[in-house]
Amino acid sequence: MIEAVFVGLPASGKTTVGKILARYLDSDFADSDTLIEEATGKSIPELFEERGEEGFREVEAEVIAQALEERSGVLSLGGGAVLSAATRDALRDHRVFFIDADKKILLSRLQRSTNDRPLMRENVEENLERLSKEREPLYREVATDIVSSEFYAPQSVARKVLSLLGRAHTTVIEGAGWSALIGSDLAFEVGIAFDRASDIVLIHEGDIPASYRSHIERGHRCYDMPISADVENWHDLAQRFFHDFDEQSISSSGAIFAYGSSDVLSFAAYCAAVYGGGLPVLAVPTSLEAALCGAFTAQIPSTNFHTEPTPAEILCDLDVMTYQKADFAEALSVAFMDSNETLMQARYAASTMERRDIEVLLSQTLPVRMESAAFQHRNETFLYGHTFAGVLESLAPDMGHGQALAYGMIFAAGLAEGLTIAPFGWARKHVRAVEDIGLSTRLEGLRREDIEDEMRRQAALHAPDIKMYKVHNRFMVLSDFSNPRVVVSVSGKALGRAFHAIGL
C-alpha cells in the first residue's frame, strides 16, 4: 500500500523529501519518472521527443496507476502528472501531499539544476510561471494535505509529513530555518541530516557514542577536532582549524557535527559562521544546560558584526543528555524573558524531574529560546543574566554556568530596582525562583572590588559575548516579565542595590 504520494512543481523537492520520508517509515520509495524510464527503456526527454507531451502523459498515467495499485511505501510524481484526469481520479483514495515551495526558491534551484526538463528549456522563469498557473489548482484539487517547504531543510519537510501521518516518534520544534528534535535514540537522524554532505568535521568534547559515529562515518570523509569545554581563544583556535580545512580541501558541501557542552556547541557555531562559509551544524548537547544555551548565537571578535548561525539540527537526545539542578537556571532565564507559565514549569521540575519532565521542559522552553529569548540592542544579543554570569565565571571558573547565571539574574533584578525600572520586590521574586530550583542566592568567596575590577578588565576586551567593551558595564534588565532594556555604565546607589541583592 502506498502510504504517501508527493506532487508539486519541478524542483519543489518531491523526490528528496520522498526518499527521506521512506527512510523514516522504513519503506520503499519510487519516483514516477524513474518508473517510466524503467518501463519504456527510454529517458523522459527521449519520450517527449518521440511521442510529444500528450503521448508521454498517456504512458505516465498508466505507469502511475500501476504503481498506486501494486507498490507500497512512498511515491513521488512528476510535476505534470496531475494534468491527466485519469491520474487525478486514481489519486482520490490516497494520502497526497502537495509541496508548496516559494517561486523564488524554485527558480533558483531550476537555474542551478543540471537535469534536462523538456518543459523548462529556454526561458526558465517564464516557463515556471506558466506551469505554476496551469498546475497549482490541480495540485490543490488532488492534495489531502499541503506542506509548505519555505526555507526548511528537506528533512524538516519530511518530518512535517511524518507528523501528519501520525507516525512521528520525536517532538520537533521548528525555528527560522532550523529545527530541534527531542526524543530518544536520535542517532538515525544524523544519517538523514548528512545524507548529501561530503565532508564532516567533528567538533566534540569527550567520546562520541558509537551509534552516532556509525552514521557519521558512513560514506563521508571525517575530520576529528576534540576540544576541551573551557575554550578560551575561539578566534585563534578556529583560524588554526580552518587553515587545516584548506589543506584538506574540505568541500563547501560539508557539514559540522558538534557534540558536548554549551561552550563546545557555541564554538562550533562560531566556526561555521566565521570560517566555515556557512557550513550547516548538527549539534548534540550532552546536558540540559547545553540544549538550552549552546549553538544559538556566536559573536565575532574584532568587528562589530554579529551573526546568528543556523544549525541544520539540534538533537536533544534524552539517552545522551544529563542534567543537574544548576541547568534549570537557563530555563529560568528564558522564563523571565517570556512568561510566568514557563517559569513555574522550570521551578517544579527541579525537584521532581523525570525523563518525561525533561521532554516537556525542553518543548516549552526551546521555542522561546529560538525565537524571542534574546534581546537585540545595537548589533549585540543579550540573554537575561548572562552578562554578569560571564564576569563571575571569569573570576571563579569552578562555580559553574548555572549557578553564575542564577546570581546574574538576581543581580540584574536588583539593578532594575535600583534604577526604578522595576518595582520593589522584583529582586525578591528572582531570589524565590532561584531558591525553588535549589541554587544559592547569596554570593560568597568573591569581593565586590574584584568583580568591578573584572568588569573594567573586560571593558578593554573585544571578544565573543563581552558586553563591557569600551564601557564600565552594560547589562540587560527587565521591568517585568518580557520587557527588556539595556542600561550602560551604572554606578552609585543603583549598582550598590544590585550587589546587595546577591549578598555583597
Q: Tell me which of 155-159, 323-327, 500-504 is least confident.
A: 323-327
- Same structural domain, 201 and 159: no
Evaluate whether residue 339 is within a structural domain: no
271 vs 53, 204, 213, 312, 465, CA distance in Å?
Answer: 50, 13, 21, 14, 15
Residue 438: closest CA among 329, 290, 288: 329
pTM to 2 decimal places: 0.76
- What number is the average pLDDT over the span 353-368? 77
- Same structural domain, 393 and 470: yes
Of how many residues is the chain composed? 504
Instruction: Give the pLDDT of residue 6.
Output: 97
pLDDT above 70: percentage of residues in the chain = 80
- Same structural domain, 447 and 464: yes
Share the mean pLDDT of the chain.
83
User: End of a domain among 135, 168, 201?
Assistant: 168
Q: Per mean pLDDT, which of 219-228, 276-285, 337-346 is the most reliable? A: 219-228
Give the residue numbers spanning the domain of 164.
2-168
**Contact between 160 and 21 (Cβ < 8 Å):** no
- Same structural domain, 384 and 444: yes
- Same structural domain, 256 and 318: yes
- Same structural domain, 229 and 144: no
Evaluate whether residue 66 is within a structural domain: yes
Instruction: Output the nine-digit C-alpha cell for 166.
Output: 501520525
Confidence of residue 44 (pLDDT cuts 50, 70, 90): confident
Higher-pLDDT residue of 135, 294:
135
- What number is the average pLDDT over the span 173-190? 83
**Residue 411 maps to which CATH number?**
1.20.1090.10
- What's the one-letter identity of residue 235? H
User: End of a domain among 136, 168, 200?
Assistant: 168
Instruction: Give the pLDDT of residue 168.
Output: 85
- Same structural domain, 252 and 312: yes
Count, in order, helices (H) and strands (E) of the chain.
20, 18
Evaluate whether residue 305 is within a structural domain: yes
Res. 81: pLDDT tops 90 = yes
Instruction: Give the pLDDT of residue 288.
Output: 85
CB-based contacts of 77, cutoff 8 Å, min separation 6: 5, 6, 7, 14, 32, 64, 87
Instruction: Give the pLDDT of residue 218.
Output: 87
Residue 471: closest CA among 458, 459, 480: 459
- Same structural domain, 98 and 161: yes
**Contact between 31 and 39 (Cβ < 8 Å):** no
> Coil, strand, or helix at residue 240?
helix
| 419-478 pLDDT, tens digit each | 999 999 999 999 998 998 889 999 999 999 999 999 888 887 765 556 776 777 888 899
**Residue 241 maps to which CATH number?**
3.40.50.1970
Res. 30: pLDDT tops 70 = yes
Domain count of the fold of the chain: 3
| 262-313 pLDDT, tens digit each | 878 877 877 776 666 667 788 999 988 888 875 454 333 333 333 444 456 8
Evaluate whether residue 295 is within a structural domain: yes
Evaluate whether residue 75 is within a structural domain: yes
User: End of a domain among 114, 142, 168?
Assistant: 168
CA gap 115, 311 in Å, rounded: 29
Q: Tell me which of 361-375, 423-437, 483-497 is least confident.
A: 361-375
Greatest alpha-carbon span in the chain:
87
- What number is the average pLDDT over the span 100-120? 71
**Residue 58 maps to which CATH number?**
3.40.50.300
Instruction: Give the pLDDT of residue 305.
Output: 34
Q: Tell me which of 107-121, 125-139, 147-161 is least confident.
A: 107-121
